[in-house]
């Protein structure tokens, strides 16, 4: 699946997007974040702000970390929006 990052999350990771294949035990948004944090120090640092991180699965906001990611094509991580 494709991961896309925005705003200071993109800057902290030094990465706008990446292709990943999570292991089988990673079935939800929350488990994905934990797994990503275990993979890199940069991501672990991002997760210090875990509470404010917003997630979109296939371009739709997800408000529950228990949301399954099975079959998702694109998962986005970003801070609270400040448009308008």
Partner 1 sequence: MSKPATGDKSATGKPDIRIQREDFDPAAEIERLTSGRRDIGAVVTFTGLCRDEDGRLAALELEHYPGMAEEEIARIAEEAMARWPLTGLTAIHRHGRIEPGDNIVLVVAASSHRQAAFEAASFVMDFLKTRAPFWKKEHPLDGSSGEWVEARSEDDSSAARWKG
| Closest separation in Å from C-beta 38 to partner 1 | 26
Our CB check for partner 1 shows the closer of 20 and 81 to be 81
Select 22 or 79, whichever has its Cβ closest to partner 1.
79
| Choices 22-30, 36-44, 54-62, 65-73 (CB under 8 A): range interacting with partner 1 | 54-62
Residue 21 within binding range of partner 1, rule CB under 8 A: no
How many positions of this chain bind partner 1 (CB under 8 A)?
16
Instruction: Report the 3 state secondary structure along the chain.
Output: CEEEECHHHHHHHCCCEEECCCCCCCCEHHHHHHHHHHHCHHHHHHHHHHHHCEEEECCEEECCCCCECCCCCEEEEECCCCCC
Which residues of this chain interact with partner 1, rule CB under 8 A?
Answer: 4, 6-8, 56, 59-61, 76, 78-84
């Amino acid at each position: 699946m494709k991961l896309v990052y925005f705003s200071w999350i993109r800057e902290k990771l030094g990465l706008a997007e990446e292709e990943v294949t999570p292991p089988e035990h990673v079935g939800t948004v929350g488990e994905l974040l934990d797994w990503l944090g275990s993979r890199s120090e940069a991501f672990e640092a991002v997760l210090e702000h875990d509470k404010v991180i917003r997630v979109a699965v296939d371009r739709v906001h997800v408000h529950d970390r228990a949301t399954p990611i099975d079959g998702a094509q694109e998962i986005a991580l970003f801070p609270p929006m400040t448009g308008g």
